[in-house]
Structure 1
Amino acid sequence: MQWHETIAPGEPPITHSEDCLYLNIWAPEGNGPFPVFVWIHGGGFVSGHAFEPMYDGTEFARAGIVLITVGYRLGVFGFLDLGPLLDEKAESEYAGSANNALRDIIMALEWVRENVASFGGDPNRVTIGGESAGAKLTDILMGVPSAQPLFHQMISESGGAERIWTAANSATVANGFGEEWRKSSGKDLPSLKTAPASLIIESQHSFLEQWPQHFPLRAEVDGDLIPRLPIQTIAAGSTRGKRLLIGTNRDESALFIGPHPQSDPAAKDLGNLSLAKFEEVLERYKQIYPEMTEEQLRIRAVTAEEYWIPTVRVADAHLQGGGSAWMYQLDFSETNGRLRGYSYHSLDVGLVWNRPHADAENESAEAALAKQVHQAWVAFIRGDTPAAPGLPEWPAYSTTARPTMIFDTQSRIERKPQDAERRLWDGVL
């Protein structure tokens, strides 16, 4: 079944379909074998596309990499546990359906293992990675035991493995969606199995609008595919011997709460904490950064809660489990528009794909940085230390010195960046 959705005023509608599990492949000329990069798109688990123009793999293919983007089920189709909503027989059949999107990605990786050699790719050199939800799914996959033979390196841009439910949390969300389904559709719960996808999406929209927490649709610890919290599995050695490139942008949450967050409360933008607990943390931020404005403090703290601290936890667990990592932070900021001066969420994507903004005030500086970031990613995917002409030497990450590449107009290495802020979150998440 197909349906249409207008993403933004003035933009043509995008055709959606339940027939969505496809791969897009860009392959270098020649016979290979070439390293493979499998890209998992972002979109908050409810949106995004593997075919977005940004994800044109030509630049990676020219650098000798087989680039593959993958589609997966989104929203309630990929992240809703239907078991609690249906009868006892169906409950067993649909148990763990909140992990359907992860199963889609695993199925894609199995396909890559069996078929990528036909495109010149090396099935023994597969890097998985993504940005935002794609990075979070990458980090969660690091803690999925059955997926480990399918990839050999990971790239995580603005991710973390915190956004995952227990079975009880997942059931609460499922029941909340069930109530909204009955109210908005006028139909009973068993009808979900045969209802038009467009009608289910309408209920999803209204459900997300009224749900009090950010991103209620998430993967879950189901005791099967995900036996326990991924961060625990990673620390126990699930990714032992593998390499990880991981990092965040300095002002991630500016994109969501805007440059004037006092008119846009943070409650709906918290992924892991209650508002009351967050406000306690925010008070401590004022002690660490007395020079910051209220808006800067709130953006900084929401960024840490959703992206930075979960990212650090993944890197630390990966090292504890016997892996190696390279950490980065993007400080390069927007030069015009409402987010001028902020290194906001998704700003890194154009750099990684070597597609900088064409109308930026500092267009030449952004183009130069994009070339460097892209080359560093290519080097990592090839199996080398991430590096590019003009970048300082990038040391491997450790939990003692915490060396971090700061990407900017003049990139640099910092050790223990924002250390007081990091320690503030100890024991909070």
Structure 2
Amino acid sequence: MTDPTHARTRGGPVVDTGYGPVRGTDDGAVRRWLGIRYAAAPTGELRWRSPQPPARNQEVTHATAPGPVCPQLTDPRIPLDLGGRQGEDSLVLNVWAPGGTEPGAGKPVMVWVHGGAYVLGSGSQPLYDGSVLAVEGDAVVVTVNYRLGPFGFLDLSEFNGQPGARGLRFDTNVGLRDVLFALQWVRDNIAAFGGDPRRVTLFGESAGGGIITTLLASPAAEGLFSAAIAQSSPATSVYDAQRSRAVAHQFLERLGISDDEIWKLSGTPVPDILTAARQVHDAVPSQSPGLLAFAPIVDRELVPDYPVAAAQLGRTHPVPLIIGTNEHEATVFRWMKSPLMPITPGALRSMFAAIAAEQPGLQLPTEAQITSAYTGLRPKAIGLGMARDIGFRMPTLWFAEGHSAVAPVYLYRFDFTTPMLRLLRLGAAHATELPYVWGNLVAGPKDPTFKLGGLKHGRAVSERMRRRWVNFAASGQPSGAPAKRCGGPTGARTAPPC
């Protein structure tokens, strides 16, 4: 370990990790280490393999700028600032700590898994800048990149040992394995950044929340985190091997690669992979509304069972959990006209039937029971409510109910919105809680969220949410000032343990 004070005089704090020393920055308020490599580049024969340790670097690596982000299916309707250029050598993470934090300080650790339907996003998005959480929460914050889309959630394992593979091998769920590998890096290295490896809270939203509910049911994650927060987790969007193989064959057909040519995949250009993946990504939910082309699968190894089923059998890791949804989850999908969250009656029936067929052990309500919950609403409101509940709210409640048998569970619903989002008929839509969790409320001059007001109330809601999240990371309990209504029909509520 290089002495932090000495390192600061030479340009920034240096920490010696298991893979070599890294130099960050310290502005007095917060220390940052950006783009730290936690695994070898997953290229060539490693493209669809479990993450591997990188070679140790003897020289000091400058961790002062975000690293590459995973190649992905960008969507012009979602103009994300990914925080870095796209490239396969993207298995990096970022660390923030309060200014002056010394090695061994033992601060709580918060590890973020970003969302994006398993095909979009990065841990380096400006929205996920951990400065506010680290300083105000007196915590060490980590954000992680993991492989996305066909690179992280395409199951090609049926070709292992086949002549057409010519020795090339494929692992399942490599995106999940990336997150596990990053958690192992945190366990082994975070004390040198001032974090406590025994107090690690894994938190994430949407696909990131889905990864968290999946890892809660994965034996491989045992001991790697002590608490979890799952925001808008699509907990039932985990599929079986038969369906995942059908997706793989669609992908190979679009790519023009036969079973005898599987060996070519290690050298297939990234643009070609993304073009084929885009076609499959669009085709699958059009054929089966609500289903994702690329998502975790039950491989009977890393993921031995469906996460909701495992939770209901009491087979999740006994760590405290915050889990919840937003009041208007489905509105942003309506705005995008996305088949990932259908709102027509026929598509909703198909989506619900797919869950029932995929996970027959679930005790699902009948159609009559479902429709009775939406009496008196307009048809569009019924569709939005059912889409929200089938896609997010019901899976959240099923998982929470099961997990509460092994550990404390805290349910929440995020209701806060702004005048502009109400005008746009979005309300408390999917992902709108993210700026409040991170304390990064204004994304830039083009951000319309607060153009019609609401920033004062938004800051109050953000302060309350951050306090609960960081207190949960520190103690396992989301303590904070009692929630109260703020600015009319808005607010964020947290319920007692289930």
* Bin for the TM-score computed over the shorter chain: 0.7 to 0.9
Aligned mate of 2:88, from 11, 15, 18: 18
Partner letter of residue 298 of structure 1? G
| Residues 1:299 and 1:281: Cα distance change in structure 2 (over 3 Å) | farther
Matched, 1:179 2:258: no
1:164 matched to which residue of 2? 238
- 1:424 is matched with none
Aligned to 1:223: 300
The equivalent of 2:114 in structure 1 is 41
Deviation at 1:220, TM superposition (A): 1.3
What is the alpha-carbon distance in structure 1 between the residues aligned to residue 355 and residue 395 of structure 2?
19
Q: Using a 3 Å threshold, how does the CA distance of structure 1 residues 193 and 126 change in structure 2: closer, same or farther?
A: same
What is the 5 A alignment of 1:386-397? 386-391=478-483
Q: Deviations 1:321-357 (Å, cap 9, x if unpaired)?
A: x111110011223422564362210011111112234
The 5-angstrom pairing of residues 266-285 of structure 1 reads: 266=344, 272-274=351-353, 285=370
Task: Give, in angstroms, the shift of residue 4 of structure 1.
Answer: 9.1
Partner of 1:255: 332
Partner of 1:200: 273
Stretch of structure 1 that moved more, 85-94 or 308-317: 85-94
Residue in 2 that maps onto 1:425: none
Is contact 1:167–1:221 with CA below 8 Å preserved after alignment?
A: yes
1:234 Cα offset (Å): 3.4
Residues 107 and 370 from structure 1, CA distance in 2 versus in 1: closer, same or farther, beyond 3 angstroms? same
Classify 1:143/1:201 alpha carbon distance in 2 versus 1 (closer, same or farther; 3 Å).
Answer: same
> What CA distance in whole angstroms lies between the structure 2 residues aligned with 1:374 and 1:145?
30
Which residue in the other structure is 2:437 paired with? 352
**Aligned AA for 1:208?**
H
Q: 1:291 aligns with which of 369, 376, 380?
A: 376
Q: Does 1:59 align with 2:59?
A: no
Q: How does 1:118-133 map to 2 (within 5 A)?
A: 118-133=192-207
Match for 1:381 among 462, 473, 484? 473
Cα separation, 2, equivalents of 1:203 and 1:294? 36
Task: Give the alignment partner of residue 319 of structure 2, picking from 217, 242, 258.
Answer: 242
Worse-matched range after superposition: 243-252 or 26-35: 26-35
CA RMSD of aligned residues (A): 3.5
Which runs of 5 or more residues in structure 2 are unaligned? 1-42, 44-67, 358-364, 442-448
Say which SS state the counterpart of residue 273 (structure 1) adopts: helix
Q: Is the 8 A contact 2:91 2:178 kept in 1?
A: yes
Q: 1:176 to 1:158 in 2, by over 3 A?
A: same
After TM superposition, the structure 1 stretch with the greater mean CA deviation from structure 2, 39-48 or 253-262, is 253-262
Identity of aligned residues (%): 28
**Secondary structure at the residue paired with 2:399?**
helix
Q: Secondary structure at the match of 1:327?
A: strand
* Distance in structure 2 (CA, Å) of the matches to 1:175 and 1:168: 11
Equivalent residue letter for 1:344: A
Residue 94 (structure 1) shift:
3.7
User: What is the aligned partner in structure 2 of residue 325 from structure 1?
Assistant: 409
Contact 1:369/1:408 (<8 A) preserved: no
In structure 2, how many angstroms separate the alpha carbons of the residues matched to 1:234 and 1:290? 31
Question: Quick one: which amino acid aligns to residue 8 of structure 1?
Answer: P
Name the residue aligned to 2:393. 308
2:76 matched to 1:8? Answer: yes
Q: Tell whether the 8 Å contact from 2:331 to 2:426 is kept in structure 1 after alignment.
A: no
| Aligned partner letter, 2:352 | L
2 CA distance for matches of 1:104 and 1:259?
A: 30
Indicate if the aligned counterparts of 1:333 and 1:340 stay in contact, CA closer than 8 A.
no
Distance in 1, Cα, partners of 2:73 & 2:219:
36
Do the aligned partners of residues 309 and 5 (structure 1) sit closer, same or farther apart at CA in structure 2, a change above 3 Å counting? closer
Amino acid at match of 2:470: V
Q: Which residue of 2 aligns with 1:422?
A: none
Q: Contact between 2:236 and 2:355, CA under 8 Å: does it hold in 1?
A: no
Counterpart of 1:427 in structure 2 is none
Range with greater deviation from structure 2 (161-170 or 350-359) = 350-359
1:404 aligns with none
Whether contact under 8 Å (1:372, 1:391) holds in the other structure is: yes
Aligned pair count? 397
Q: Which has the larger radius of gyration?
A: 2
Q: CA deviation at 1:127?
A: 0.5
The whole-number CA distance in structure 1 between the counterparts of 2:457 and 2:195 is 33
Distance (whole Å) between structure 2 residues aligned to residue 271 and residue 377 of structure 1 = 36
Aligned match of 2:186: 112
- What amino acid sits opposite 2:478 in the alignment? P
1:210-236 Cα offsets, whole Å, 9 max, x none, are: 222331211111121122222333344
Deviations 1:203-257, CA, capped at 9 Å, x for gaps = 1111212222331211111121122222333344444541001100011011102
Task: Report the Cα offset of residue 294 of structure 1.
Answer: 1.2
Q: 1:25 to 1:102 in 2, by over 3 A?
A: same
> Structure 1 pair 408/51, CA: closer, same or farther in 2 (3 Å)?
farther
* Counterpart check, 1:140 vs 2:140: no
Distance across 2 between alignment mates of 1:228 and 1:349? 29
Q: Is the 8 A contact 2:110 2:201 kept in 1?
A: yes
Q: How far apart, in 2, do the equivalents of 1:412 and 1:307 lie?
A: 17
Structure 1 distance, partners of 2:319, 2:371, is 38
Shift of 1:82: 1.2
Secondary structure in structure 1 of the residue aligned to 2:303: coil
Alignment CA distance shift 1:134-1:360 (3 Å): farther
Change (3 A) 1:285 1:144: closer
CA distance in 2, matches of 1:259, 1:180: 25
Structure with a larger share of its residues in helix = 1
8 Å Cα contact 2:409-2:497 kept in structure 1: no
Specify the code of the residue in structure 2 equivalent to 1:300.
G
Go from structure 1 to structure 2 and tell me whether the alpha carbon gap of 1:236 and 1:41 turns closer, same or farther (over 3 Å shift): same
Distance, in Å, in 2 between the alignment partners of 1:92 and 1:408 is 60
Q: Which of these residues, 156, 169, 192, is aligned with residue 82 of structure 1?
A: 156
Q: Which residue of 2 aligns with 1:154?
A: 228
